[in-house]
Structures are given as C-alpha cells and as structure tokens.
C-alpha cells in the first residue's frame, strides 16, 4: 500500500558524507546537501531528522565503510608485520592521491566538533578503541611469532600506531609529500623491530 522510498539510503549517505568530509559540518549548508544527494528537503528531514542526524549517520556510514574497505583491500596471507607495513603504505597512497586533500573524516569531525558535541565525541572514542584493538591483535600475533619485538607492551605499541596514523593524516592533508610521509612511517615502524 505505501509508496516505497525512491532512494537508496546508503547512496544518499555516501553523497552526504562526501560533502561533509570536504567542507565540515558547519561549512556545509542544507542547500548543498539537497543538491548533492538529489533528495528534497522533506525527504531528508523525514529520513534523518535534521542536519545533525544526517551528519551522525554519514559519519557512522564512513566508519563502517572504512572497516569494510580495509578487510577487502588488505591482501590476505600477509604476516602481521607485513600487514602493518601495508596498512601504513596504503594510507600514504590515499593521502598522495586525494585531489581534495580531505584527510580523514573521523579526525576532521573530532577536531571540529568533539569538544562541543558528545555524540560525535563518542563516535571518535569508539573509532579509536576499534583501531587500537585491531592493531593490538596484529601486534600480539607478531610478538607471539617473533616478528615483532617484545621490548614494548603490545598495548603501548598499538597506541603508538594509532597515534602515528593520526599524525600521518594531518600531515598528508597539510602537505602531501611522499618522502616526508615515508620518512615518518619508516621511523615510526622501526619500534616494532
């Protein structure tokens, strides 16, 4: 009986995400979101509540899409140490090839809003915990099979890796220079040896 929605929510979130990612929350108007998504105002408000609701959903969408993309693109069969290398090199490549220099949407959201918006801050904390847990599993594996030094606790190393990725994203946004980013990764990952 009811008319079905004429759009795919995922596709809409993808388009909204791209605008927010590039321009930030406060730098993006509903007008731009209407144009970017192709939806009408009523459909946006009916589906997402308001601008803030759309932003939160876009950010969650981004976070989940990032995780999925990683699992797909990460070559299988790599040792834990090589997996970490690949991960960092991958992020260098992304920084060097994004013509818009958008950086990381989660990081941008954090610096723009986390201190004033609890729901955004919670997403940032969740993301941090998730990334640390991922690194932790890789490092524990590496320390178990002797590929990674046991000089530091796995937890400390995983925090260090997450820290480096954050820095890398900021610097890649400021000045995407190959040799700079590679210097950083080389030194940063040397603590694993």
Partner DNA sequence: TTTTATTTGGAACAAATGTTCCAATACCAT
Partner DNA sequence: ATGGTATTGGAACATTTGTTCCAAATAAAA
Window of 27-35, 73-81, 89-97, 122-130 that interacts with DNA by CB under 7 A: 27-35
How does DSSP classify residue 7? Answer: S
Nearer to a second copy, 34 or 128 (CB): 128
Residues 6+ apart with CB under 8 A from 156: none
- Provide, rounded to whole angstroms, the least separation between the CB of residue 134 and a second copy: 16
* CA–CA gap between residue 39 and residue 158 (Å, rounded): 42
User: Is residue 187 near a second copy by the rule CB under 8 A?
Assistant: yes
C-alpha dist (Å) from residue 72 to 65, 86, 88:
10, 13, 16
Say which entry of DNA, a second copy, none residue 39 contacts (CB below 5 to 8 A, set by partner kind).
Answer: DNA
Say which entry of DNA, a second copy, none residue 159 contacts (CB below 5 to 8 A, set by partner kind).
Answer: a second copy
Tell which one of 14, 43, 66, 188 touches DNA (CB under 7 A). Answer: 43
Window of 36-44, 86-94, 113-121, 139-147 that interacts with a second copy by CB under 8 A: 113-121
- Provide, rounded to whole angstroms, the least separation between the CB of residue 172 and DNA: 28
* CA–CA gap between residue 55 and residue 105 (Å, rounded): 11
Q: How many CB atoms lie within 10 A of CB 15?
A: 18
- Provide, rounded to whole angstroms, the least separation between the CB of residue 127 and a second copy: 9
User: Is residue 188 near a second copy by the rule CB under 8 A?
Assistant: yes
On whether the CB atoms of residues 24 and 110 are closer than 8 A, the answer is no
Nearer to DNA, 5 or 155 (CB): 5
Q: Dmax over Cα atoms in the chain, in whole Å?
A: 65
Residue recorded with tokens 């480096």:
164
User: Is residue 193 near DNA by the rule CB under 7 A?
Assistant: no
Size of the site for a second copy (CB under 8 A): 49
* CA–CA gap between residue 65 and residue 102 (Å, rounded): 16
Tell which one of 36, 39, 113, 192 touches DNA (CB under 7 A). Answer: 39
């Amino acid at each position: 009986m009811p008319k079905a929605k004429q759009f795919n929510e995922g596709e809409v979130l993808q388009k909204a995400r791209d605008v927010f990612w590039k321009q930030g929350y406060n730098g993006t108007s509903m007008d731009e979101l209407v144009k970017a998504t192709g939806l009408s105002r009523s459909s946006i408000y009916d589906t997402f509540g308001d601008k803030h609701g759309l932003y939160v959903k876009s950010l969650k969408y981004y976070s989940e899409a990032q995780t999925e993309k990683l699992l797909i693109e990460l070559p299988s069969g790599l040792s834990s140490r090589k997996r970490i290398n690949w991960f960092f090199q991958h992020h260098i490549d992304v920084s060097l090839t994004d013509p818009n220099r958008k950086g990381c949407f989660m990081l941008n959201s954090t610096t723009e809003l986390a201190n004033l918006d609890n729901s955004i801050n919670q997403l940032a904390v969740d993301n941090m915990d998730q990334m640390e847990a991922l690194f932790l599993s890789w490092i524990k594996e590496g320390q178990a099979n002797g590929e990674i030094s046991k000089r530091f606790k796995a937890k400390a190393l995983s925090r260090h890796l997450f820290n480096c990725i954050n820095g890398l994203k900021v610097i890649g946004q400021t000045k995407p220079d190959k040799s700079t980013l590679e210097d950083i990764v080389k030194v940063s990952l040397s603590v694993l040896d």
